[in-house]
Chains A and B, each alone.
Chain A
Amino acid sequence: MLALERVSYRYPGAPRLALRDFTLTLNDGEVVGVVGASESGKSTLALVCSGLAPRSIGGSLTGRLLVDGDDMQGRPMHEMAAHIGICFQNPTSQLSQVAATVFEEVAFGPLNLGLDRLEVARRTTSALEKLGIGSLAERDPERLSGGQMQLVAVAGLLAMDPRHLVLDEPTAQLDPAGKRLVADSLASLARSGTALLIAEHDTDLLAGLCSRVVVLDTGAIAYEGLTPEVLADERLTEFGIEPPSDVALRREVESAGLHLDLPA
């Protein structure tokens, strides 16, 4: 279980709170989506959940972050990292920059967990296969396309087999097939009991993956609920979020005074 209780966070030197009185509980195996306009607090939420804010980037936090019932207050970063993985928005921020090959890059996380080398190799191979990038294993991670780099970053997280995971736009640079592979891997992680919090602009992806969606506006929850209801809500566009493709098309057709009758 991953829980935030009345969490507020302010970046160092910032005049305003980036996250205001935020409360959310994710049960084991639950996938929750977070949507919102740019700078509504999605990335901040991911940094707070992972513990990097304030541990690595400073600032001030009030409220409580609970992981499996334990208050994380005062826990050092390496301990947080053993409980919660984070996938950054920009995959170049994720890469270790010390690995010469994609294989080493994906193995970097589990090696740091102190796992036995055979287990590391097994997890690395499996993560690469799940994301369809086994053929990149010997490539230099610094010389990949943006989308390939994003898949490598996600593979590195899968290989760590995190207890819980927060992801900041994990599929922004992926082609549709890559998105599907990431979505399938995340769904399978959730089935094994991992709680997942996913900040995304791609509401089509969230529609297929999340049980609940939270809408953020200027650092606070604007509204939340079950995925189909939140994503079909008229207010979504007011909060700067593109509705899923089917909702957008239906609206366009209906605003022309027509009706869309799609065979199942």
Chain B
Amino acid sequence: MSDIRCAELRFEYPGGVRALDGVNMSIRAGERVAIVGQNGSGKTTLVRHFNGLLRPTSGTVTVGDADSSRTRVAQLAASVALAFQDPDKQIFAGSVESEVAFGARNLGRRGQDLSDAVEGALESVGLGGEKRTNPYDLGYSRRKLLTIASVLAMNTPIVVLDEPTTGQDLRGVRIIEAIVKQLGNDGRTVIAVSHDLRFVAENFERVVVMRQGKIVTDGPPEQVFAEESWPTLRSTNLEPPYAATVGARLGLGSTPTLASVVEALES
């Protein structure tokens, strides 16, 4: 299994916009980690280093034993699969089935093994009945689920989801929550970039908070969403989840999730 390590990671886009400004972090194999922070704080830029789509301006990113700046994207793809924030930048195939098969085939899967992977991934996002559909005949939210299926079919040890719940209705959010849980149970690493702090608090064991290309706090939801951390959250345009604000108002301690509010009220 592969850990991810970033050391003094800096990245500047052409034109001089500094998106990452000295990130030091590591993610252990099997962790469920959410990356949060204000718009433009560097979240997407950071995760795009994990599969080599971006290379550091300085500093290093290693995935397992591989230095991402010296490893080809095709090789990193066997370890890290990333679902884009904007599905339309990822989708290119003429049918749902071939879209999902593309990444898995590139990793060498063929025949029955490939069709099982495609089938399983489509079922898990609720698109099992749409194999022959043109992706652009699906609405935005189902196109987004399709990109997640493509990533699942690759069966990589590390899965990165960029804003997975954006545009999803209740059913879509529940599907994504089930996927995160299942990946966690399988011992695979799940990394999600998200603004949806309810989703983050309810489904991740670790929350990394970014501001202007740096990590400003990093810990379990109970710590990151505790009242003491609210000034830090607000400094990067975030608000604590509603459950946490209720817990604080009622003097229940740190209650980032609905269940933790109920539990605190019961005791």
**A interface residue numbers (CB < 8 A to B):** 36-39, 43, 89-90, 92, 139-140, 143-148, 150-151, 169, 172-178, 201, 204, 237, 240-242, 245-246, 248-249, 252-253, 256, 258, 260, 262-263
Contact = CB atoms under 8 A, between A and B. Distances in A.
Contact of B39 (A139, A174, A249): A174
Interface of B: 13, 15, 17, 37-40, 43-44, 85-86, 88-89, 139-142, 163, 166-173, 195, 197-198, 236-239, 241-243, 246, 249-250, 258-259, 261-262, 265-266
Contacts, number: 123
Contact of B85 (A140, A146, A169, A253): A146
A144 B40 contact: yes
B139 A38 contact: yes
Contacts of B262: 252-253, 256, 258
Contacts of A147: 38-40, 195
B141 A253 contact: no
Contacts of A237: 170
5 contacts: A39-B141, A143-B17, A176-B239, A242-B169, A252-B261
A218 to B, nearest CB: 13
B246 A262 contact: yes
B229 to A, nearest CB: 15
Contacts of A169: 167
A201 B238 contact: no
A249 B163 contact: no
Contact of A176 (B140, B167, B172, B238): B238
Question: In the complex, which of the residues A92, A148, A176 has the most CB atoms of chain B within 10 Å of its own CB atom?
Answer: A176
B82 to A, nearest CB: 14
B230 to A, nearest CB: 12
